[in-house]
Amino acid sequence: MDLLAALADLVLPGACVGCAAERVPLRYGACEVCAEFLTALVPFATAPVPPPPGLPPCTAAGAYAGPLRGALLAYKERGRHRLARPLGVLLAGSVARAALRAGGGRSEPLLIVPVPSTARAIRERHGDHMTRLARHAVRRLRASGWRAELHQPLRALPRPDSATLDAPGRAKAAESSLTIRPSRIRVLQRRMMIGGTLIVVDDIVTTGATLAAVATRLSEANMQVTGAATLAATRLRRARPPRTGDFRHMSRAGSKVPLSGS
């Protein structure tokens, strides 16, 4: 079945992952317009309102909408694994921005910890989508002169569906689902001792509960998370009408994060 799908993709390029346009030339599954849109994204500081306790300063490559949402869904839910490379480049930009915001620089280690996936998610998605994304981001950052390293000191245990939980309940469920991998945490602790910027990465930030849980677990192991970087930021849906500032997109007008050059 996978082979048939792959062959079909070769014969019929399929629809653009960003806008579903058909019969257009595609690069990594995106049409020219969507590819240009994704290339032009500028990472920005973002924070859910209210931010959960323990959430580090958070940066996103773009809003969870339009071509970015389409590409992320195609990658995550429809098995378009080749999108890991362009999405990894976007994540790298978000990580670089997060590191610079925190005063980090290319001269010191940039320690990247992806939010761990549960075994079930890895099975269902035919691989660990966050690890794959983070690897591409690390590769891109290194190519741009950053001393980026991938670290995976946490394991994710199955957790109940959090959709019905309130904010404190979600935070508790997220935290209790994360366990420390002792040998790997020691490696990270040693790296932190010589100094470095520790950035947690995830695909999407919505309530911030997961990122806050990871930061809390790491701080329990005496590691201060410097920041969080994601591909996309979701606007929270609320019962009351939205207000300006429900989701703060700060430094929107900021210049593009310099991945290369000095």
Residue ranges that bind Zn ion, judged by CB under 5 A: 16, 18-19, 21, 31, 34
**CB closer to Zn ion, 13 vs 79:** 13
**CB closer to Zn ion, 87 vs 185:** 87
CB of 47 to Zn ion, least distance (A): 30
CB of 231 to Zn ion, least distance (A): 17
Which H or E run includes 260? none
**CB closer to Zn ion, 61 vs 112:** 61
Half-sphere exposure of 231 toward its Cβ, with a 13 Å CA cutoff?
33
* Distance separating alpha carbons of residues 48 and 242, to the nearest angstrom: 13
CB of 9 to Zn ion, least distance (A): 16
* Distance separating alpha carbons of residues 256 and 233, to the nearest angstrom: 17
Q: What region does 59 belong to: left with phi over 0, alpha with psi -120 to 50, or beta?
A: beta
The answer to whether 193 and 185 are in contact (CB under 8 A) is: no
Q: What interhelical angle do 32-39 and 84-101 show, nearest 10? A: 20
CB of 37 to Zn ion, least distance (A): 8
CB of 104 to Zn ion, least distance (A): 34
**CB closer to Zn ion, 18 vs 208:** 18
**CB closer to Zn ion, 28 vs 251:** 28
Name residue 97's amino acid: R
Q: Which two tokens stand for residue 48?
A: 């859910």
Q: At residue 207, what are phi and psi to the nearest 5 degrees?
A: -90, -20
